[in-house]
Structure 1
Amino acid sequence: MKVRFLKYILTILSLVVLAFNTEAKQFVVVIDPGHGGKDYGAIGAVTNEKTINLNVAKKLGEKIRKNYGEDEVKVVYTRDKDVFIALNDRARIANEAKGDLFISIHVNSVDKKNKRRATIAGTEVYTCGLHRTESNLEVAKRENAVMYLEDDYSQKYQGFDPTSPESYIAFELNQSKHLDRSIEFATLAKDYLTTTARRVDKGVKQAGFWVLWSTGMPAVLVELDFISNPTSEKFMASANGVEKLSKSLYQAFEDYYTAVNGGQRPAGTATAAKSGDNSKKSEPAAVADSVEEYAAESDAPATVEYRVQVLANDKAVSTSSRLFKGEKVSEYFDRGMYKYTVGHFRSQAEAEKSLRRLRKKFPQAFIIKMENGRRVD
């Protein structure tokens, strides 16, 4: 009788464990090698962008699959061979896969008339948003111009014109709820590319990339380096270069995956990487991320409170900076980023009232929940 009862208990426990594992969320990373097929991307002296993108993307996917089980992390490619994939199909693949992170891999270049064409170098990592500089806009225009290779691009992309600045206004909005995580991965990727792969640091930036705007998940576009620079091109085309570039992105993924799953970052995080980097660090473009307002609150913050986050950056920003446009802000440090908020609200409803006002100044502002001074996701 006792043996039968024990078997029964073990059977029930097995079913519970099976149900738990079945319900556990598999993390899906979508790797997007830019360009492909008839679309060569930027052209170098000995190779082209589509080839470099695919080589690095496939090596990154191999590293993830080698170190994570299929039930833990699923790797999805928008392309795994030399074929042309339209921008809207790349986004569709990512969204249908219910991705948790979208990494679009590209190679940079500048116009042949540019005097620095053969000497400009460095890695840039972009999140989606309104470009703050003309150079950011030009990068977005170049990457979005692949639309012209599609016969029905005007209808397919609902009249979007890659060359028109006015077409990019809406890009500030759709990715706002994923911006915090996007910046987090972008910062990790940038830091590892400048340490592990020894690329020049050109910062974390924003621009209106259609493929990022149309994906419903944290998303970044990585510009590995400039193919117009012969030295950079030689590195990216080499087996050693592909290994170091893919390893950099894998290290960023490893830290990011650990962070979003609530674990401690292992040694070699972005902070550790920075300490060993002697290359010049450029300040990334400020990105709206959170705002707080001191309305409907007591002087002492509650144990549980809501705030509106307006900014996140990998370097500290003065709370009196003109970026905050006269708002009274607080700073907290979380997941390797300095984050800035407005207000201490007792309820989410109170925070939402201020969010509507603050989004006129900070279109990407969103509400966060804090418990005992720590953010709760």
Structure 2
Amino acid sequence: MSQSSQGAQPQNRAAQSIGFLLLDNFTLISLASAVEPLRMANQLSGKELYRWHTLTLDGQPVSASDGLQITPDASMHNAPALDAVIVCGGVDIQHSVKREHVSWLQLQARQGRQLGAVCTGSWALAKAGLLDGYDCSVHWECLASMQEAFPRAAITTRLFSIDRNRNTSSGGTAPMDMMLHLIGQQHGRELAAGISEMFIYERIRNEQDHQRVPLKHMLGSNQPKLQEIVALMEANLEEPIDLDELACFVDISRRQLERLFQKYLHCSPSRYYLKLRLIRARQLLKQTSMSIIEVASVCGFVSTPHFSKCYREYFGIPPRDERAGQQGHNLVVLLPIPEQQQVNSSAVLALSRAQGESTFASVRI
């Protein structure tokens, strides 16, 4: 996946050279999501803004998690001059990071290079002690294990994190958002927007966007009632359900309901429900042209002033400022609740109160 020459060299700035360190069983979609914006930046600008090189431990081919094999450009120790290194992780990351990886990454840090990671690659940086005191992102499957193994790293559920000279992202297409953000910083938002349009990428997500961490992953399989309650909440944002009704539908007491939320989600049921509604409101403000009054209504707020007050308290800015910050961004179509959510269908039907197609899945942080 070496870069070929694309366009003329800019007169006043050398191309940035980025090394992608491929670990065994790395995730191919995350690598492609990080590389392709660089290629398109060169193509649209007509200049060689970026060069990229694939690296492995010993220069030998490496297999991605889908079985496809990549022949790298060089080994780590024979890498060309680099400005930045991005570690590409994937499946079974704990066993993919070798002592030699750790030593080489520490050397790159001492030499002042920018360091980054995609998917589960943050594990390698953390193991090398290079994320201590830094905000960082990682695929949600690796979130809990990293928090336990590396308590000095500030691991978040954000799609990507940019903290000084550390750039880390979660998996899937999140690396594209991170790279578009960096390209926008370095070469202007117009170029980043042009790349997004070429890839039919409807919205460039930012550092405030979070991964949706499946509740089953957070709780395990031993809390089906709590999972069902949260699913009912998510399905009924426009007309929130009374907590006594929620408890009744899953056949527990109101007191048991409150204990479950405090024990496993570390907040009260009403607070969690409010958070779901506010996060949904933020999605609508950022991704649709609905008015603030309409957003307040479909998220279950009886008045716009009350909605604005709650929104400011939770996100630190009023809804109007959130909307202003999204001007010029493309809008996207919102997806309905996935069918795989395990909810008592009759309960949802009874409690939806004729919401029709206004019910959507929420993003959880």
Tell me whether the two structures share a fold, i.e. TM-score over 0.5. no
TM-score w.r.t. the length of structure 2 is: 0.30
Higher helix share: 2
Question: Which structure has greater strand proportion?
Answer: 1
